[in-house]
Structure 1
Amino acid sequence: MKIDLHTHAKLSKASDFTPAYYEEMIQEAKDNGLNALALTEHFNTRNFYEVYEQLDRMFPYNGEYYDADGLKIFPGMEVDIQETGHILLIGQKEHILKARRQLDNYTEKGAFIAFDDLMDLAEELPLLKIGAHPFRESTPLYHLERSQLTRLDAFDLNAKDMYQYGCENNLEKVKQFAADLGKPVTAGSDTHQCLQYGSVYNELATPCESAADLKAAILQEAYELRVSDSLPLKVKASVMLKKLMKKIVRLEAASSVHSV
């Protein structure tokens, strides 16, 4: 099973979820050989709950994952913490939504939940907890206490960071950081649009049929990290396309205001 553990469903936090846009993303994921992904949309994205309401209408959900015509979509979210940093939580939809409801009062910058409180919340539920892009300059994690970092299950090897900071440099940094903490490294494209799929992913010898299976496979390190030779091109093209698409959205919004 080839799975990307850090993906988004929308172009940006400010944009609306649209089924047509996500269906295009799903097709690109399949075209890049993925069998599964974790949907880790930002917890404070615009209309977070609507994302899962729409997915319920788009694809059958079997209690563990959505089946998008053969592609498994495991529910999740990406959460900002008070100390600065992002945490990926992945699990059954009911647990993700339960955790998200407990974060309703923590969605604004300056009011994010403290790391330890988030871990307490996540540990009450059987969620996979991954420290996202630990060396990203804007949202690092390495500054946290060792006792805090060891509460995470794994750390994210992030395609955007590999492109920005150098593939080999970022790979070795994240691997050493995780090894010092006795934790595995997982791969995530961090894509907000389709071109970044396939840049990095995790290849498991055995397919996972549940969130518990997925967490166990990660903890047992029963998988291999895969990094595409085309990662720099994929991410560069993705970044350029995202900027262009956001510009078009802004122009359309401005045009609509002027026409009223």
Structure 2
Amino acid sequence: MAKKIFGLKQIRQLEEIQKTRLKKEGTGIHEEVQELIQRLTAGGVGTPDTADPFLIQTKVLWDFGWGRELGVTTIDAYRKSVEKEGLATKPDRPAGMPEHLNRLVLWDRRPLLEKRERREQVSLVKICRLLNVDFSGDDETFIQHEATPEITVPVRWVWCQDGRRNRNRSPKDCRTSFHAPEVGIEALGGLFLFAQDRSVIGGTRGAWHVVDLPGSVHRDCPSRCACLLLWSGWPRLRWGWDDDADPGCGSASRWE
């Protein structure tokens, strides 16, 4: 994925936004900009200099705004809130799990839960907004495929693979070849994986990769499944035919 650098163009845009706000409402954007600066510098700038997955991955989610959405004001408070959910800070690899499930990813569903018709539902629209992923659908676009049990605990470690081993195989074929407790990953899992490693999609010529997400299918057309791709330099959550095989696409999976 091409690196996008903050520069004078964005500074000028912020200045114009502030001028408009001052004219309309009499207030600038100091608080919003300061919140962003404080959030991105809390606990150090960028990935912590450690191999500890708990420290690294909570920092990533914090930088994307998970703590803000939960109403906590420091990264330490966010980490403590994660621990209170019963998450092991030193996760063990489950016995008998295939070696190809080699990516450990932190899921924190809490800021994404919204009440819909007397039930709580994860908002894909919200996580896409937090991660700056383009999504033309809504929270009703995808449903869980019956072969992929939904993860309902608020916070969890998930072992998964990014689909590169399944390139040039259709999502439908991959879905039937997974043996429980390995299942096709859903859209939410693909987005959490992308949050921790944005290079999971895209790449150089010949190694370009689209992550198929066979655990989520289109509500109105179940023969289409979710996929995560890079298009025109922008990450996008889309859907495609689940019987199509392409050398640049492969189905990701996870451990139940």
Which has more radius of gyration? 2
Q: TM-score, normalised by structure 2?
A: 0.24
Q: Which has the higher helix share?
A: 1
> Could you state the TM-score of these two structures normalised by the residue count of structure 1?
0.24
